[in-house]
Amino acid sequence: MLSQAENDRLTQVGRGTPMGELMRRYWIPVCTSTDLEAGGAPRRARLLGEDLVAFRGDDGSVGVMEESCPHRGASLMLARNEDCALQCLYHGWKIAADGTILDMPAEPEDSTFKNRFKHLAYPTRESGGVVWTYMGPADYDAPFFEWDWTLPPASHTMHLRAVGHSNWAQSVEGAVDSSHQTYLHDAKSRQQRDRDYVERMTREGKELTDGFDETGQIVRPWNDGRPRLQVEITDFGYRYAAIRRPLVGADRFKNVRVTQFVAPFFVLVPAPDGWGQITMHVPIDDETTMFWHVRSNLREPVDAGTLRVMEDSAGLVMGVDIDENLEKKATRANLWLQDRHEMKHGDRLSGIRGTIPEDQAVQESMGPRYDRRKEHLATSDMAVIRFRRIMLDAVRKVEEGGRALGHESTTDFRTLRGEESTIPLDTPWESVGVPT
């Protein structure tokens, strides 16, 4: 539960809003590197309520700038991309990636107008196959985070995305809410896969943690719908553990699943051995979020078959589940294509295809920006409750002139991982998921 004022402070991200000012102190994902072809079409990118275009010049460099031409507002999505600049289709104003106006061909030849102002453009970087931008104050020293998944070559990394039609905080709250796993995402086939996996791992004497089965799907050695949650505040956000009874050996062991929340919208969920992964919940505006799930094989390139299994399991197959604008075909209007027959007689308990549409269906069903005065939180919402408090505290700190949460962290984010392990009952959960 939050007051209306607190809810607004948490959820509104436009320029000048408290959370919007905090968000603008971080580097933010814009699109994937492969979205932008050298000299090719610009790509629309709405971030924090601002309409932007991203493009890649002939030399490979990337620009991110306000979509609207500074002349009379025509969309630069229509612009020509040449000479590492966008040239507006309307009157030929030519704008470089840093916002410099290179040409106003309809103006008198001796005009100095173009030298006297710049278009709104933001600095960019590329890492992990992602284009990032910084939309904050020029005099703020914003560190750029590198992660384990940004280190391997692009061929090792898979990027899944989908537009969610609800506020970014609803999306993050889904990602730090371990207990919904057993309900929203349950399926008869999943339960069978988990049991088969546990039997095989036990037979082979291997550690009981997340893994892949022979079909390439993630399997888990637990089925406990009442996890005990523990949260430890860190200098970048928090890490929390969902502690469950494992499917075997519950009298001697506990399964500990540690998730890292890194402000403002990064969630590192446990990945199978040899993989790194992250979810990013990027505010498009107050009522829309770009959900990212990035998974990287830390040892070898990813093949097309692995990508296909991940897309299929997530329910984000291009042309089947989502369109070229990353919009889901399952929407509020069609009740997220929920299949009532399947719910009663089939496999998935939700009747909704794919884990991400399942997540986004419930988040969108809450309304585009949920009024948290109405809710009735419970003890299983511990991580959600802590997320709100530390983000509201972080907002206040920036308002008072302080640094953004995580920007004074001593943690090397490349060593930060979600981690799952099945450990003896008397071993502290804090031993799992410690940055190295």
Partner 1 sequence: MIDVDGLTLRLPEEPDTVAALVDTVAMQLRELHARGYRPRSLVVGPGLYAQLATLKQRELSRGVPLMLLGLCVVPI
d(CA 310, CA 306): 6
If you search the block for the tokens 């893994």, which residue do you land on? 211
One character per residue 290-329, x = contact with partner 1 (rule: CB under 8 A)? ----------------------------------------
Please tell me the count of residues contacting partner 1 according to CB under 8 A: 19
Where does this chain touch partner 1 (CB under 8 A) — which range of 81-89, 259-267, 283-291, 377-385? 377-385
For position 6 contacting partner 1 by CB under 8 A, the verdict is yes
Cβ at position 112, least distance to partner 1 in Å: 52
Judged by CB, which is closer to partner 1: 165, or 389? 389
What does each C-alpha distance from 58 to 97, 101, 130 come to in angstroms? 12, 18, 18
Judged by CB, which is closer to partner 1: 126, or 381? 381
For position 248 contacting partner 1 by CB under 8 A, the verdict is no
Of 75, 26, 74, 71, which Cα lies nearest the Cα of 47? 26
Half-sphere exposure (Cβ direction) of 24: Cα atoms closer than 13 Å: 23
Show the DSSP H helices in 135-187 as ranges. 168-175, 181-184
For position 377 contacting partner 1 by CB under 8 A, the verdict is yes
- Tell me the backbone φ, ψ of residue 401, rounded to 5 degrees: 95, 5
**Interface residue with partner 1, options 50, 210, 381, 419 (CB under 8 A):** 381
For position 3 contacting partner 1 by CB under 8 A, the verdict is yes
Judged by CB, which is closer to partner 1: 184, or 382? 382
One character per residue 337-376, x = contact with partner 1 (rule: CB under 8 A)? ------------------------------------x--x
d(CA 396, CA 373): 21
Where does this chain touch partner 1 (CB under 8 A) — which range of 1-9, 36-44, 90-98, 328-336? 1-9
Judged by CB, which is closer to partner 1: 176, or 208? 176
Judged by CB, which is closer to partner 1: 7, or 360? 7
Judged by CB, which is closer to partner 1: 106, or 377? 377
For position 389 contacting partner 1 by CB under 8 A, the verdict is yes
Judged by CB, which is closer to partner 1: 341, or 376? 376
Residues 6+ apart with CB under 8 A from 251: none
Judged by CB, which is closer to partner 1: 160, or 169? 169
One character per residue 225-244, x = contact with partner 1 (rule: CB under 8 A)? ----xx--------------
Judged by CB, which is closer to partner 1: 245, or 295? 245
**Interface residue with partner 1, options 112, 115, 325, 379 (CB under 8 A):** 379
For position 386 contacting partner 1 by CB under 8 A, the verdict is yes
For position 382 contacting partner 1 by CB under 8 A, the verdict is yes
Question: Beta partners for 237?
Answer: 262
CB 169 within 8 A of CB 9: no
Strands of the 43-47 sheet, one edge to the other = 43-47, 50-56, 62-66, 121-122
For position 385 contacting partner 1 by CB under 8 A, the verdict is yes
Residues 6+ apart with CB under 8 A from 304: none
Judged by CB, which is closer to partner 1: 19, or 294? 19
Cβ at position 259, least distance to partner 1 in Å: 17
For position 2 contacting partner 1 by CB under 8 A, the verdict is yes
For position 388 contacting partner 1 by CB under 8 A, the verdict is yes
What does each C-alpha distance from 435 to 231, 241, 277 come to in angstroms? 16, 14, 15
Tokens of 161: 């995305």
Amino acid at residue number 174: G
Judged by CB, which is closer to partner 1: 352, or 405? 405
d(CA 2, CA 388): 9
d(CA 417, CA 270): 7
Residues 6+ apart with CB under 8 A from 4: 371, 373
Residues between 121 and 180 with contacts to partner 1, criterion CB under 8 A:
none
**Interface residue with partner 1, options 101, 219, 278, 392 (CB under 8 A):** 392
Q: Which long-range contacts (CB under 8 A, 24 or more apart) does 299-305 make?
A: 299/156, 299/274, 300/156, 301/153, 301/155, 301/156, 302/155, 302/156, 302/157, 302/158, 305/216
Binding site for partner 1 (CB under 8 A): 1-4, 6, 229-230, 373, 376-379, 381-382, 385-386, 388-389, 392
